[in-house]
Amino acid sequence: MTDISARLSGPVRVVGAGLLGASVGLGLRARGVDVLLADASPAHLRLAADYGAGRLDDGGAEPSLIVVAVPPDLTGTVVADELAAHPDAVVTDVASVKVAPLSELQAAGVDLARYVGGHPLAGRERGGPSSARADLFIGRPWVVAARPENPRAAVSLVEALILDLGATPVEMDAAEHDAAVALVSHAPQLVSSLMAKRLADSPDAALALAGQGVRDVTRIAASEPELWVQILGANAPAIVEILRAYRDDLDRVLVALGDVDAAGARRTIAEEIAGGNIGVSRLPGKHGQDRKYSRFVVMVEDRPGELARLLHELGDLGVNMEDLRLEHSPGAAFGLADIAVLPEVLHRTVEDLTERGWRITG
């Protein structure tokens, strides 16, 4: 259903009809905004249009805003082309690095008053227009890398795009952004991939024991190598700084584990684990709140409707589930639902669910 409260009036031109570009189109079309699609791949373009992400740009309408959603190594070139081809439009992008394309444009002497860099912190493991979703950006932070030469009207237009897609604008300059994503996205990708690589030649018997811990650590390892080569290469200095510190921590653990009976070895291991406790405690929780939850685990039989019954009964008990993680037990006909609730309702919830026949394992 069309939402007449859309801030943008359109048309909006989206260049690049992959996951992010097509998701931008779907989200704007859901609000009734006219979207013009362009892509170097005719197949991607037609598929995104078939999914309803917009209409093919035939040049008959002049866009007010252009969203460049192409791979990072093409972002600078495409932004420059779009600025030249549409002299009245504001141009933004969704590239996951900001310094490299900006530096490329500045070196080329491009007038960047109408270019406002952006980056939505959203995505999926799968790419392409067939994976696009209108709700992909809802509740997600979206960095706006505005600069002093940007007119306020240009920045406001990009912010309107972000708000129309349900995301939250976050102001950062390009260097600050790249340092931040190196820490929370790019370095974790490498750590996850390198850990997952250890599984490639591991015995089947070992993999059969895999639980939620290794799945959590390696969840993002199933990523597209070609895209990540571009991202990591464009943000290499910031990533290297983090990985060097990570390597130093790892070296200390290796020394300690090499002789666990040496003086101070166990303390070193304990301090590194405790440091991780401090770090993870700083991650914002639900709705960005700094609030701690209590967790318990429920066995859920692997048959239709069981998980829905559990969630329904939590609702009957007046308990708000703050988080949910599912783990499937290899070789067993049940799964484990790891549920987070407010600490003050934990004891009552566990007792009430036990009385209703649920098996609580932790």
Domains located in the chain, CATH noted:
12-172 (3.40.50.720), 179-281 (1.10.3660.10), 289-360 (3.30.70.260)
The mean pLDDT value for 302-318 works out to: 92
pLDDT at 331: 61
- Mean pLDDT, residues 242-270 taken together: 97
Residue 361 and residue 353: Cα distance in Å, rounded? Answer: 12
pTM over 0.75: yes
* Confidence class for position 254, pLDDT limits 50, 70, 90: very high
**Mean pLDDT rounded to a whole number for the chain:** 92
pLDDT of amino acid 291:
60
Lowest mean pLDDT among 70-74, 121-125, 285-289, 315-319: 285-289
Q: What is the mean pLDDT of residues 314-324?
A: 90
Task: Give the confidence band of 125 by pLDDT, cuts at 50, 70, 90.
Answer: low
Is the pLDDT confidence value at 76 over 60?
Answer: yes
Per-residue pLDDT, 86 = 97
189 pLDDT higher than 60: yes
pLDDT, tens digit, 9 for 90 and up, residues 154-163: 999 999 999 9
- For residue 2, the model assigns a pLDDT of 46
